[in-house]
Amino acid sequence: MNHFIRFWLKPGLFLLLTAVMLLSAATGLTAQAAGPTPPDDPVTAAEIKPFPANFVLMLDNAENGLYTINTNTDEVFGPFLENKLGSEGGGLFDVTVTPDGKTAILSNFGDSNLFFVDISNPYDLTYIASLPVRFTTVDYFGKVSTRTMFAEDITMTADGKYALVTDGGFSPYIYVVDVENHSFANVFQSDHFNFQATDTAPDGTVIGVDYFGASITASVIDSDGSISETTPYQLFMTSDGRTSKVKWNNYYAPGRSVNAYVAPDGKTVLVPELTSLEERDPTFVLDPKKATPDHFPIQIYTIVSPGKLKYEGYVVLTRAVQSITFSEDGTKAYAVGNNGNFVIDPKIPLPKYPDEYAYIELDSISVLKLSGTGQVLVENENAALLYQHSTSQLFGVDVAAYANGKLIVGHPTISTTFRMPVGVVRVVDLSDFTTTFQPFPGAIISSTRALPLQKFFLPLIGK
């Protein structure tokens, strides 16, 4: 199952930062970084009440439980609904929340199931219903088949009417959920593309991510939950950053992505790529002793009409970005990145701590500035360090949430073939970009989501 939910950017076995687990006592471990300010995901704002505004919902992937954290005090509550959200081996992955901040929908990957949870009281989460990700298809010859799909990424339409679910594997389907009735609404099947992640815009545009096809797609969801045929977008780049819509020669290569994000202006689309510029050189050879960063582009598009995109350019970071979340005013994007380079010290062949490496680039948060529609710049790269090192990523899962001037950050991967801190959640104070490891009585936080949602679609700024 694991090959459906992760991929490896570099070979080898990595032993990681056990030290932070030992040091994270009841008060948490604080580490200094650098930087500016930020918030979270899906939709709307008008009817949201202030009561839970400083809380963040957290999913424990390993133990199938839920937690909330009060960002005023960083106190963690839970676990809630343990053993009620699927089988032990199923694994909770992603979560989306209704615009009124009252209901969460969770994806259980291995069980191919969705769970609806009442989150109106962050001190007492309660079970509502479940929905198997199951549907029927009819082939060219008229044969009817019942299909079950793994559930990994889940996102909400801007009006809160539908939730879209995608698999983390070779799946051409987008499963559409009727949120109000906790029921199946529709399923879209592409004849040409797979879907590992989606995001939506207020005009009905659906951005699809095809990691294996190294492309994205744009389509439109209608009022009945049906989705139009997709328009593909594929970009080829060289190692020195030249771009083309066609592959002129072997020096032009496409990039693979696991996530895409519609900014709060409802028009700007950010597509982080996990294929570095260096890897696009056909003569590229992995150097385990390289003590300098690689460079990973974030492609920038604008939605010019429902289901239609225009390419605007790119920015580059020295981490591969897995998740992005936005500030309240839509002018900042906060990118969770990993896959930094490292070099083993030959005197310490099995390092457990950062200072035991000859060279290491830790997972980080970088800040992007959005000055207008499609206008994006790097404002503060690696502004906060997360004091772990990871090299794989979850498809479509959103691991960072904003509340009360802080980022609550989960794991960009659940792979534990290396040592990474478990039983802690990272709290990044955006006033000074310090990172605190806050203990909780669980294992691996996958998705986090603010209660209520902090992503509002705003009037267009600039262009």
What integer pLDDT is reported at residue 156 of this predicted model? Answer: 96
Say which CATH class 2-451 falls into.
Answer: mainly beta
- Percent of the chain predicted with pLDDT > 90: 69
For the stretch 103-155, pLDDT in tens is 999 999 999 999 999 999 999 999 999 999 999 988 878 889 999 999 999 99
Q: Is the pLDDT of residue 462 over 80?
A: no
Asked if the model's pLDDT at residue 416 lies above 90, the reply is no
pLDDT of 422 > 60? The answer is: yes
Question: pLDDT confidence of 17, banded at 50, 70, 90?
Answer: very low
**What are the boundaries of each domain within the chain?**
2-451
453: confidence class by pLDDT, cuts 50, 70, 90? low
Question: Quick one: pLDDT band at residue 193, thresholds 50, 70, 90?
Answer: very high
Residue 417 has pLDDT above 90, yes or no: no
| pLDDT computed for residue 34 by the predictor | 33
Q: Is the pLDDT of residue 52 over 50?
A: no
- Name the band, by pLDDT with cuts 50, 70 and 90, for residue 166: very high
Mean pLDDT taken over the chain: 86
pLDDT value of residue 419: 61
Model confidence at 67, pLDDT cuts 50, 70, 90, reads: very high
Which of 189-198, 310-319, 413-422: highest mean pLDDT?
Answer: 310-319
What is the 3 state secondary structure string of the chain? CHHHHCCECCCCCCCCCCHHHHHCCCCCEEECCCCCCCCCCCCCCCCCCCCCCCEEEEEECCCCEEEEEECCCCEEEEEECCCCCCCCCCCEEEEEECCCCCEEEEEECCCCEEEEEECCCCCCCEEEEEEECEEEEECCCCCEEEEECCCCEEEECCCCCEEEEECCCCCCEEEEEECCCCEEEEEEECCCCCCCEEEECCCCEEEEEECCCCEEEEEEECCCCCECCCEEECCEECCCCCEECCCCCCCCEECCCCCCEECCCCCEEEEECCCCCHHHCCCCCCCCCCCCCCCEEEEEEEEEECCEEEEEEEEEECCEEEEEEECCCCCEEEEEEECCCEEECCCCCCCCCHHHEEEECCCEEEEEEEEECCEEEEEEEEEEECCCCCCECCCCCCCEEEECCEEEECCCCCCCCCCCCCCEEEEEECCCCEEEEEECCCCCEEEEEEECCCCCCCCCCCC
What is the average per-residue pLDDT within 314-331?
94
Q: Does the pLDDT value for residue 73 go beyond 60? A: yes
338-397 pLDDT, tens digit each: 999 999 999 998 888 888 899 999 999 999 999 999 999 999 999 999 998 888 899 999
Q: Which of the given ranges, 141-150, 196-205, 418-427, has the highest pLDDT on average?
A: 196-205
